[in-house]
Amino acid sequence: RSEAPPATAAPATPASAPGPPQEPAKQDAAAYGSIWNTNNWHWEERNCIDTARNELRKALERCEANGLRHVRELGGACVILKNVEVQGKCGIWIRKGKRILSLELSVAFDWEFRDEFGGALGVKGTGKAIGMTEEDDEPPPKVEVKVSASSSGGKEAKAAGEWMRGKGAVVVGSALEGKDLGAAILAADEAQAKPEADRQRRAAELAKAEEARRATSEAQARIAAQVR
CA–CA gap between residue 87 and residue 106 (Å, rounded): 5
* Confidence at 94, pLDDT banded by 50, 70, 90: confident
CA–CA gap between residue 203 and residue 156 (Å, rounded): 66
Cβ atoms of 121 and 155 within 8 Å: the answer is: no
Q: Amino acid identity, residue 15?
A: A
| Residue 192 pLDDT | 83
The whole-angstrom distance between residue 203's C-alpha and the CA centroid of its chain comes to 26
φ, ψ (nearest 5 deg) of residue 207: -65, -40
Burial 20-47 (b: 16+ CB within 10 A, else e): eeeeeeeeebbbbbeeeeeebeeeeeee
| Residue 211 pLDDT | 85
| Residue 95 pLDDT | 85
Is the per-residue pLDDT at 173 higher than 90? yes
| Residue 198 pLDDT | 66
| Residue 203 pLDDT | 72
Q: Which of 18, 46, 37, 56 shows the shortest CA–CA distance to 198?
A: 37
Of 68 and 153, the structure prediction assigns the larger pLDDT to 68
Rounded to two decimals, the pTM is 0.71
CA–CA gap between residue 160 and residue 80 (Å, rounded): 12
Is the per-residue pLDDT at 5 higher than 70? no
| Four-residue CA torsion sign, 190, 195, 196, 202 | positive
| Residue 224 pLDDT | 83
* Confidence at 31, pLDDT banded by 50, 70, 90: low
Q: Which of 113, 120, 178 shows the shortest CA–CA distance to 147?
A: 113
